[in-house]
Amino acid sequence: MTELGTDLPPTADPKPPAKATPVRAIRAVLGFGSIGAIYVWIAIIVLFSIWIPGLFLTTNTVTQILDEYSISAIVALALVLPLSAGVYDLSVGSVMGLTGIVAGALLGHSGLPVVIIVLLSVLCGAAAGLLNAVVVVWIGLNSFIATLATGSIIAAVTLGASGQVILTTGLSGPFSKFASTSVGNIQLPFFYMIVIAILIWLLLSRTVMGRRVYASGFNPNAARLAGVSVGRITTFALIMSGILAGFAGVALASRVQAADPSAGPTYLIPAFSAAFLGATQFRRGRFNPWGTLVAVFMIGTGSQGLLLAGAPQWTPQLFQGVVLIFAVGLTVVAKRDRSK
Amino acid sequence: MTPSIVLDAQHVSKSFGHVLVLDDVSLTIEAGSIHALIGENGSGKSTLIKVLSGFHPPDPGAVVLVDGVHLPMGSPTDSAAAGLRFVHQNLGLIDEMTVLENLRLTSDLDQRALAPTSHSRDREAHALLERIGVKLDLNAQVGHLAPDERAAVAIARAIDDSHGQMRLLVLDEPTAAMSPTEVERLFAIIRELKSSGASVLYISHRIDEILRLADTATVLRDGRMQGHFSTSAVSRSELIGRILGADQDEAPPAAHRVPDAAGTATCLDVARITGRFLRAAAFQARPGEILGVAGLDGSGRDELAGVLGGASKAEVDLTTAAGGSNGHLTIASARVLGIGLVFPNTHPASLIAEFTVRENLCLPILRTTSRRGFISDRSEKGVAANWLAQLDIRPREPDKQLQELSGGNRQKVALAKALEQRPAVLVLDDPTSGVDVGARRSIYEIIRARADDGVGVILCSSDIEDLTSICDRVLCFVAGQIVAELQGADISEQAILNNIMSENRLSPGGVHT
């Protein structure tokens, strides 16, 4: 029976391990296949530096971009855990709106200290995450549909609770310091974002939990066979994204000093774009915090540049779409060529 | 006058590159008969079918006549127009659709969009099913049907005459996933077809099925025809001899070891397993022994490994040195009992393709390679380096992505992953599937070395070579029960095939040899 194998040339021994020369190592880390988005980002910076040097090349632009996009980045980071675990969380936008309104309502109607109000609001985000976990893990619905549904429910509850108005009472007081205090010219959310990214990075790359999150996402059956309780991992990931999205919602309300029940959903699509673009960077095929941050700020830089250059209102959105295709494409094509 | 010939194929050869897969094969089928095409995996059966269906053009020189009319080769449309209809092994049904929708996919039932009311469509569909003596709810979802009912839908769809009359129905291993009762029901359908005058070409490697069902048979081995038989005039053993070839007896002596004595210690005592296919199977495994498990698909052989490892549900009553279980095994409880499961590397749940070798190896033992929830790079690298060296996994790069490894090396990673948990009982399912010849040998050596260390190995395999090469004892499964136990020198391809194809020997209530 073994003759059947002879139709193929004798299988060569697997190639001897490629010598890990420094050049090769550097290429692996700095090549388009690994960090295509960073090159695109640099290209964008160069482009606007030539186009509108006076307006673009200022520290003001830098702080504006960091302040403007740090909250978007936190929402995108919130998605990294559930996406790594193989589930969607489409409710993050609604959860942002919910926690903003909860904070606004508490500020208007209770005399609780700001710290407690922030904690309670974020806790509502955690509760929303738990609701997602109940529907996804315990009832067993597909996460895309389940979180679409819970997102819709949460958005409705938020709208009802707010009385369909933007809450501002009490938001301009000490609460606004939570997100608008500047340290070295940069507002606090940027630093929150950095801390969250570091924590997620540590969790995903250094801990048992993180390894199990990736295992559940890549191949839940193999993970189960290896003793991972995939349901528990999914629950954890969804609660974490609820907490982080909730945190982003509170930070947004604090930064703009207003709780808008419909503020959240606009963050959803850019956050997903960033998380998916991020997954093509640094750690091939894995959702990861640093890739996600690069994606957010690459898009942010371009959008801000276009606004400074006086481009029409619709161009940043167009730019987002084009850049997403371009940056992901660059990475995918580079990887394909290398594997040939 | 001789009975008319529905299919007459002469001088069919097919080569891929330099390899001749079909060598001057001829096939003649009388109208109104059931003709079987038998051969082992890789004997050329599927290639011949693909030539007939127009999927592969044959090498020049082939002549195929359907009802005496020359059939142009290499065109699926021409083959279909000539009346050749094919039901492939996977049936080609869409599980999410209903019976009616599946029937309509390829037929005219729905194409005359304006004319037929849904009522008349239903009637036409019912008529199709009636021709094969089957009644089905047309609105049932195909995914929910039993295997034989699914086959019925595929057959009904194939015999639909709306694109011209069917001349020959070709069924490619239709019983692969069926239980014996389901096979019976399928046979009833095929006989019904025959009685209505249809001709059938039935492809299988199950000899008993063929002897029961077919009128005539053609045997293929290594792409060559081994003869044309009337099933009423040929014996089982002669047929098996033709399938395996004469040189089989001269196979190198296998490395079996006869257990020292009966009554040596057992490391796994299975009192009863009943599952989807398994029917109260009972057996024991001993430390240091490689126990083979043979059987056709659906015999329980394919279910056993997953059940013992806690991956598939079944009612289990078993004992190991670490304790016992009565009821359902889970992955965790199997692990506590010291049972390690290795799925074939081709199984989707075997390994994580996107993970590195190291991550795959360490996934089940993260508790021991971490401290306070943080993974220790050093201890992971230690584990990986140990197994890469011990099992000669290449390349020796623990951080290589698993999907970049060859099948043989992937299989070694799967083995290492289970061995790292130090199982007392190692359950292997098709350990050499998707593995090339050289790696196969080293996998055999790894398994033997573990047995020598005192591990009880249970090797379930659909590849008879696995069983004849390294097993000390082989259990033959038919219909979920053990019909024979072979030991030492009694283990031969012929003996195993004889037993696992011996469904006739099963008396309704019980099983003993």
CATH (residue range B251-338+423-513): 3.40.50.300
With 50 as the cut, is the pLDDT of residue A87 above it? yes
Residues 6+ apart with CB under 8 A from A155: A93, A94, A97, A98, A261, A262, A264, A265
Whether B338 contacts B423, CB under 8 Å: yes
Residue B283, number of CB atoms within 10 A of its CB = 20
Between chains, do A208 and B375 touch, taking CB under 8 Å as contact? yes
Quick one: residue B479, left, alpha or beta (phi over 0 = left, psi -120 to 50 = alpha)? Answer: left
Residue B445's contacts (CB-CB under 8 Å, 6 or more residues apart) are none
Q: Which two tokens stand for residue B306?
A: 């997953």
DSSP string, B223-253: TEEEEEEETTS--HHHHHHHHH-GGGGGSPP
B108 pLDDT above the threshold of 90: no
Bridge-based pairing of strands B290-295 and B281-285 is: unpaired
B437 with A5: Cβ contact below 8 A: yes
Mean pLDDT of A192-203: 97
**Amino acid identity for residue A265 in this structure:** P
Residue with tokens 């790079």: B377
Q: Is A12 on the interface with B (CB under 8 A)?
A: no
pLDDT above 60: residue B2: no
Q: What is the pLDDT of residue B159?
A: 85
pLDDT at A24: 67
d(CA B266, CA A30): 57
Write the residue in B341, B352, B405 that is nearest to A218 by C-beta.
B352
Cβ-contact B323, B411 below 8 angstroms = no
Contact B473, B262 (CB under 8 A): no
| A206: nearest CB among B359, B364, B374 | B374
Mean pLDDT: which of A241-255, B82-96, B117-131, B450-464 is highest?
A241-255
User: Residue B351: its chain A contacts at CB < 8 A?
Assistant: 219, 222
Whether the predicted pLDDT of B424 surpasses 50: yes
A17 has a pLDDT exceeding 50: no
HSE-CB at B469 with a 13 A cutoff on CA atoms is: 17
B269 pLDDT tier (thresholds 50, 70, 90):
very high
Phi, psi of B454 (to 5 degrees): 100, 5
Pick from B466, B471, B40: which is nearest to B291 by CA?
Answer: B471
Between residues 81 and 100 of chain A, which touch chain B (CB distance below 8 Å)?
none
Rounded CA separation A79/A244 (Å): 9
| Burial A52-91, CB ≥16 within 10 A → b, else e | beeebeeeebebebbbbbbbbbbbbbbbbbbbbbbbbbbb
The verdict on a CB contact (< 8 Å) between B395 and A11 is no
Cis preceding-peptide flag for B58 (omega within 30 of 0): no
Chain B CB within 8 Å of residue A207 CB: yes
Q: Which residues of A209-246 are buried (b: 16+ CB within 10 A; e: fewer)?
A: bbbbbbbbbbbbebbbbbbbebbebbbbbbbbbbbbbb
Structure tokens at B212: 């029961």
Q: What is the dihedral of CA A164, A168, A169, A173, to 10 degrees?
A: 160
User: What is the overall mean pLDDT for chain A?
Assistant: 87
pLDDT of residue B437: 64
**Chains A & B: contacts with CB separation below 8 Å:** 95
Residues written for chain A: 340
| Residues present in chain B in total | 513
Which of B481, B441, B412, B447 lies closest to B291 in space, CA to CA?
B447
Q: Which pLDDT score is estimated for A197?
A: 97
Cα radius of gyration rounded to whole Å, chain A: 22
Q: Domain locations in chain B? A: 5-91+167-250, 251-338+423-513, 351-422
- Section A16-23 average pLDDT: 53
Window 438-477 of B, Cβ < 8 Å to A: 438, 465
CB of A5 within 8 Å of a chain B CB? The answer is yes
Q: Does B348 touch chain A (CB under 8 A)?
A: yes
Spatial contact of A67 and A190, defined as CB atoms under 8 Å apart? yes
Say if residue A7's pLDDT is above 70. Answer: no
Cβ-defined contact of A11 to B359 (cutoff 8 Å): no
Does any CB of chain B come closer than 8 Å to the CB of residue A11?
yes
- Most confident range (mean pLDDT) of A144-153, B129-138, B180-189, B396-405 is A144-153
ipTM: 0.84
Of A101, A251, A74, A98, the closest CA to residue A177 belongs to A251
Residue A206, chain B, CB below 8 Å: the answer is yes
**Closest Cβ–Cβ partner in A209, A214, A226 for B373:** A209
Pull the structure tokens for residue A294: 């690069």
A226 touches chain B (CB under 8 A): yes
* A1/B42 Cβ within 8 A: yes
Contacts of B354 in chain A (CB under 8 A): 214, 218-219, 285-286
Q: Which residue of B has its CA nearest to A214?
A: B355
pLDDT bucket at A336, cuts 50 / 70 / 90: low
Work out whether strand B281-285 and strand B323-327 pair parallel, antiparallel, or are unpaired: unpaired
Residue B394 to residue A13, Cβ atoms within 8 A: yes
pLDDT digits (tens, 9 = 90+) for A26-82: 766 677 667 788 888 999 999 999 999 888 888 889 999 999 999 999 999 999 999
Contact assignment for B374 to A2 by CB distance below 8 Å: no
Residues 6 or more apart whose CB falls under 8 angstroms from that of A236 comprise: A81, A85, A209, A213
Is the model more confident about B260 or about B189? B189
Going from the C-alpha of A94 to that of each of A124, A261, B506, the distances in angstroms are 12, 9, 63
Strands in chain A per DSSP E: 182-183, 186-187
Which pLDDT score is estimated for A33? 66
Average pLDDT over residues B261-284: 86
pLDDT at B118: 67
CB contact under 8 A, B396 and A225: no
> Among B109, B13, B123, which residue's Cα sits nearest to residue B58?
B13
Would you call A213 an interface residue with chain B, using a CB distance cutoff of 8 Å? no
Would you state the structure tokens that stand for residue B491, as one six-digit string? 């283990």
| CB contacts, 8 Å: B417 with chain A | 226
Q: Taking CB atoms and an 8 Å limit, are B331 and A221 in contact across chains? A: no
Q: Do B16 and A7 touch (CB under 8 A)?
A: yes
Tens digits of residue pLDDT in A220-240: 999 999 999 999 999 999 999
Output DSSP code: residue A259: B
pLDDT (tens digit per residue) in A157-171: 999 988 888 988 888
Whether B419 has a pLDDT exceeding 70, the answer reads yes
- Does the beta carbon of B243 lie under 8 angstroms from any beta carbon of chain A? no
- Among A311, A278, A66, which Cα is nearest to A179's? A66
Which residues of chain A have a CB within 8 Å of the CB of B341? Answer: 225
In this complex, do B395 and A14 lie within 8 Å of one another by their Cβ atoms? yes
E runs forming strands in B59-166: 63-66, 69-70, 84-87
pLDDT at B438 over 80: no
Tell me if chain B has a CB within 8 Å of the CB of A7.
yes
Residue B92, Cβ density class (10 Å: 0-12 exposed, 13-18 middle, ≥19 buried): middle
The answer to whether A78 and A292 are in contact (CB under 8 A) is no
| CA A276 centroid distance within chain | 9
pLDDT at site A110:
85
Please give the average per-residue pLDDT across A134-138, as a whole number. Answer: 96
**Pairwise CB contact (< 8 Å): A226 & B364:** yes
Please say if the pLDDT value at position B81 is more than 90. Answer: no
Q: Which residue of A has its CA nearest to B39?
A: A1
Q: Do B331 and A225 touch (CB under 8 A)?
A: yes
Pairing of strands B216-221, B34-38: parallel
Check if A3 contacts B (Cβ < 8 Å): yes
Are A225 and B222 within 8 A, CB to CB?
no
Residue B470 and residue B255 in contact, taking contact as beta carbons nearer than 8 Å = yes
Residue of A nearest to B243 (CA): A1
Question: What is the set of domains in chain A, with CATH numbers?
Answer: 37-339 (1.10.3470)
User: What is the rounded average pLDDT of the residues B182-186?
Assistant: 83
**Res A291 pLDDT > 90:** yes
B48 closest CA partner among B232, B224, B189, B302: B224
pLDDT at A8: 35
- The three-state DSSP-derived secondary structure of A193-207 is HHHHHHHHHHHHHHE
B98 touches chain A (CB under 8 A): no
* In this structure, CATH architecture of domain B5-91+167-250: 3-Layer(aba) Sandwich (3.40)
SS3 call for A128: helix
Q: Is the pLDDT of residue B317 over 90?
A: yes
A204 in contact with B at a CB cutoff of 8 Å? no
> Which chain B residue shows the shortest CA-CA distance from A20?
B397
In the predicted structure, residue B260 carries a pLDDT above the cut 70 = no
Say whether pLDDT at A13 is over 60: no
- Binning pLDDT at 50, 70 and 90, where does residue B265 land? confident
CB atoms inside a 10 Å sphere around CB B275: 18
| Cβ of residue A116 closer than 8 Å to a chain B Cβ | no
Q: Looking at B333-409, which runs of residues are DSSP E strands? A: 339-342, 370-371, 374-375
pLDDT in tens, B475-489: 999 989 999 999 988
pLDDT band at B43 (very low <50, low <70, confident <90, very high): confident
Please tell me the predicted confidence (pLDDT) of residue B29.
94
Average pLDDT value for chain B: 85
Cβ within 8 Å, pair B351-A222? yes
Residue A314 belongs to what H/E stretch? none
Query: Nearest C-alpha of chain B: how many angstroms from A277?
Result: 18
Neighbours of A181 (CB within 10 A): 12
Q: Closest Cα to residue B99, out of B63, B136, B72, B56?
A: B136
B5-91+167-250 shares its CATH topology with B251-338+423-513: yes
pLDDT given at position A243: 98
Average pLDDT over residues B428-440: 81
A225 touches chain B (CB under 8 A): yes
The alpha-carbon radius of gyration of chain B (Å, integer) is 25
Asked if residue B455 has pLDDT above 90, the reply is: yes
For range B15-34, the mean pLDDT: 88
Per-residue pLDDT band at B163 (split at 50, 70, 90): low
Amino acid B252: pLDDT: 44
pLDDT at B258: 59
Q: How far is B163 from chain A (nearest CA, A)?
A: 38
Pairwise CB contact (< 8 Å): B395 & A227:
no
Instruction: Find chain A residues with C-beta within 8 A of B353's C-beta.
Output: 218-219
The single-letter DSSP state of residue B351 is: -
Q: Where are the beta strands (DSSP E) in B353-394?
A: 370-371, 374-375
